Amino acid sequence: MTPHDPNSGDELEAFPDADVAPRHENADDRAGAAGRRGRNLSRRAFLAGAAAVPAGLWMDRALAAAGGVRLGGTFLAGRDPGPQAACALPPDVLARIKRGWDPQRSGQVVIVPHGWNWVSGRISHCTPWHYTADVPMLWYGPGFIKGRGGVDRFVTCADIAPTISKLIRFPFSAPDGTVMTEALKASPPKPKLVVVLVWDGGGRYVLDLHPQSWPHLKGLIPKGTWFRRATTGSSPTSTPPVHATMGTGAFPRTHGVVDTAMRFPDGRVGDSWSRGPGVIRVPTLADQYAKAKGSAARTAFFATLPWHLGMLGQGARLPGGARHTAALKINGSTPSSPPHWGMPERLSPYYRFPSYVNGLPPLRSYWETADLADGRNDGRWRGHDIGALVGGFNTPARVPWQTRAIKEVIIQEQLGHHDEPDLLFLNYKIIDEIGHLYYADSIEMADTIKVQDRGLADLVAFLDHRLPGQWVLLLTADHGHTASPGRTGGMAVLENALRRVVEDRFDSDGDTAALVQAIRPIWLHLNPAEIADNGTKLQNVSTFIAALTASRVARADTIRQGHANDQVFDAVFAGSILPHLTC
Ligand SMILES: [Ca+2]
Ligand SMILES: [Ca+2]
Ligand SMILES: [Zn+2]
């Protein structure tokens, strides 16, 4: 692989929309300063903070895990400590890792950060832990959905597609999901419209950091069914895998979209959607439904990134497939110019872009939403120059702008007015964006959730008026986010530092090819030829990484006093052991 290969991990990290990339200079510095003012929470709080898992179970399992794997020096020579470390993880954490790992597409060496630590010099949210895996899961729809409030059964994002299939009475075989029957009224008629609404990055941990910011969502809970223990079901907790899980009812090891980046058959590692929708290797509900119903039903989608298409499907790329109505974001000409709606050229043959949405009022006309979100009518948002944040796109102004366009699609496509139920898939990505820029516990996040929650009320009121008692809403998220290290005590593991120490230790064959192809937040992609050339084993690499301490690989300003010699990972092992674990 050449250093400038567009499919290399390094290049991937420069993709403007990649989860791994920073979108605002100095974002970390400012977020870090804010974080240092925050409360410092202990590991006890980390474990007890699990929204979806009984705290007692977390405490027992995870503290046992800590005791079992943090004694790096006690590993017996010649014995692989990987299985022991993997089995010492809390069972649901290990289950998420198993469901998310694919032998061809995932990185060979799985890394599980300790506690609140995360792998990224910037801000990331891709962990197998509860704080990025717990998601909201609300069904609402008088006439179809029970108004029973909270339900405690564990459910995952793989259960969404089968539940919709039950609602619209369209047979669909979900490989890993089951129907959330608690939500459904007994034998109702078919709804006219089902809306899947994803708050990207709006996991339970993020919402619970700002309990006053989502009154409208809270107000819907008693009128609907709220699964309190919903999780993504798999790791990594990031956008492409979980959206594909929502669309297919399968976990990543089955649907194949394992991460933001993945290995392709030619050995290269690149953005999982860079080679088109064929990355999804099992059918989505929307693809099968649209093909079967033809003009009797409409399938529509409004989001921002190709990664979100996993919840919709491959459209006309499939033989006989339908061109779903679909809109994404197209970047403006400069970093500060606002994007417009569109469909990237390479994807445009497979979907039908509703071009009329670009005739609506521009993003600029919604800047006031961002200005007023901080309570001060001063032309700025929390002191930020609104226009400088991608023309206002990286502010709460994005929400009403997108909602207006979504309403236009609902009107123009006559959603809810076909013979068979229509399906509408929506993703709002501003909560995730703000998490990447300022951390989950920032004041900017509090503002953003508030505006997103108002956008929910706006959309619900619009649909209740247009289709009273005839539509169903599912609101969920694809992952949570990381709070500032000052609050959590988490340490940021620097990808480049990790890459350097692994290269220094294991790549001595003297050629220019690097052993490490890509460092991802939950695994490392290694070059198979280089593993062979250097005569090393995944087990050796894993054992080495497991012993790494904060002083060697963590970002200096996140290393807590007295913790420089802490190991930064709870477990490191070859993914290939996952199918063979006996725990
Ligand atoms: Ca203001
Ligand atoms: Ca080499
Ligand atoms: Zn993200």
* pLDDT at residue number 139: 98
Which region holds residue 535: left if phi is over 0, alpha if psi is between -120 and 50, else beta? Answer: left
Domain-embedded: residue 6: no
Are 425 and 449 in a shared domain?
Answer: yes
Q: Ligand 1: distance of its center to the CA of 444 in Å?
A: 11
- Could you report the per-residue pLDDT of 352-402, keeping only the tens digit for each? 999 999 999 999 999 999 999 999 999 999 999 999 999 999 999 999 999
Q: Ligand 1: distance of its center to the CA of 497 in Å?
A: 39
Q: What is the DSSP string of 115-131?
A: TT-EE-SS-----SSHH
- Could you report the per-residue pLDDT of 417-439, keeping only the tens digit for each? 999 999 999 999 999 999 999 99
Q: What is the CATH number of the domain that holds 139?
A: 3.40.720.10
Q: Ligand 3: distance of its center to the CA of 334 in Å?
A: 22
Return the ∠ at Cα 23 (arms to 22 and 24), rounded to 5°: 100
* pLDDT at residue number 79: 65
* pLDDT at residue number 18: 33
- 3-class DSSP state of 229: strand
Are 509 and 456 in a shared domain?
Answer: no
The secondary element (H helix, E strand) that includes residue 29 is helix 27-37
Are 397 and 539 in a shared domain?
Answer: no
Are 365 and 455 in a shared domain?
Answer: yes
The answer to whether 124 and 31 are in contact (CB under 8 A) is no
Summarize the chain as % helix, strand, coil (round to 5): 40, 15, 45
Q: Ligand 2: distance of its center to the CA of 514 in Å?
A: 5
The answer to whether 481 and 432 are in contact (CB under 8 A) is yes
**580 burial class (0-12, 13-18, 19+ CB within 10 angstroms)?**
exposed
Q: Ligand 1: distance of its center to the CA of 414 in Å?
A: 37
For residues 202 and 455, what is the distance between their CA atoms, to the nearest angstrom? 14
Q: Ligand 2: distance of its center to the CA of 493 in Å?
A: 23
Are 512 and 399 in a shared domain?
Answer: no
Q: Ligand 3: distance of its center to the CA of 480 in Å?
A: 9
Q: Ligand 2: distance of its center to the CA of 219 in Å?
A: 58
Domain-embedded: residue 18: no
Q: Ligand 2: distance of its center to the CA of 29 in Å?
A: 35
Q: Ligand 2: distance of its center to the CA of 127 in Å?
A: 29
Give every CB contact of residue 345 below 8 A, 6+ residues apart in sequence.
none
Q: Ligand 2: distance of its center to the CA of 158 in Å?
A: 40
Whole-number Cα distances in Å, 484 to 116, 431, 477, 494, 499: 10, 15, 20, 16, 24
Q: Ligand 2: distance of its center to the CA of 271 in Å?
A: 24
Domain-embedded: residue 52: yes
| Nearest ligand by distance to the CA of 381 | 1
Domain-embedded: residue 573: yes
For residues 567 and 258, what is the distance between their CA atoms, to the nearest angstrom? 27
| Nearest ligand by distance to the CA of 530 | 2
Are 383 and 440 in a shared domain?
Answer: yes
The secondary element (H helix, E strand) that includes residue 460 is helix 443-466
| Nearest ligand by distance to the CA of 506 | 2
Instruction: Report the number of distinct structural domains present in the chain.
Output: 2
Domain-embedded: residue 51: yes
Are 161 and 188 in a shared domain?
Answer: yes
Q: Ligand 3: distance of its center to the CA of 375 in Å?
A: 27
| Nearest ligand by distance to the CA of 503 | 2
Last residue of a domain, one of 426, 449, 481: 481
Q: Ligand 3: distance of its center to the CA of 62 in Å?
A: 26
**In which domain, by residue range, is 102 found?**
27-124+486-580
CB 400: neighbour CB atoms within 10 A?
20
Q: Ligand 1: distance of its center to the CA of 385 in Å?
A: 10
Cis upstream peptide for 468 (omega within 30°): no
For residues 434 and 424, what is the distance between their CA atoms, to the nearest angstrom? 25
Are 195 and 339 in a shared domain?
Answer: yes
Reading the block at residue 477, the tokens are 């998220």
The answer to whether 419 and 298 are in contact (CB under 8 A) is no
The secondary element (H helix, E strand) that includes residue 82 is helix 82-87
Q: Ligand 3: distance of its center to the CA of 435 in Å?
A: 8
Give every CB contact of residue 451 below 8 A, 6+ residues apart in sequence.
369, 370, 373, 396, 399, 400
| Nearest ligand by distance to the CA of 238 | 3
Are 423 and 490 in a shared domain?
Answer: no
| Nearest ligand by distance to the CA of 431 | 3
| Nearest ligand by distance to the CA of 508 | 2
Can you give the pTM of this predicted structure?
A: 0.89
Last residue of a domain, one of 431, 464, 481: 481
For residues 217 and 233, what is the distance between their CA atoms, to the nearest angstrom? 22
Q: Ligand 3: distance of its center to the CA of 20 in Å?
A: 7
* pLDDT at residue number 435: 98
CB 566: neighbour CB atoms within 10 A?
17
Q: Ligand 1: distance of its center to the CA of 372 in Å?
A: 5
Residues of the chain with pLDDT under 50: 1-45, 47-78
Domain-embedded: residue 17: no
Bridging pattern class, strands 109-113 and 523-526: antiparallel
Nearest alpha carbon to residue 128 among 474, 559, 571, 514 = 571
| Nearest ligand by distance to the CA of 369 | 1
Q: Ligand 2: distance of its center to the CA of 508 in Å?
A: 6
Are 254 and 402 in a shared domain?
Answer: yes
Are 219 and 322 in a shared domain?
Answer: yes
Are 466 and 501 in a shared domain?
Answer: no
Domain-embedded: residue 62: yes
Domain-embedded: residue 16: no
Q: What are phi and psi of 282, to 5 degrees?
A: -130, 160
Last residue of a domain, one of 438, 462, 481: 481
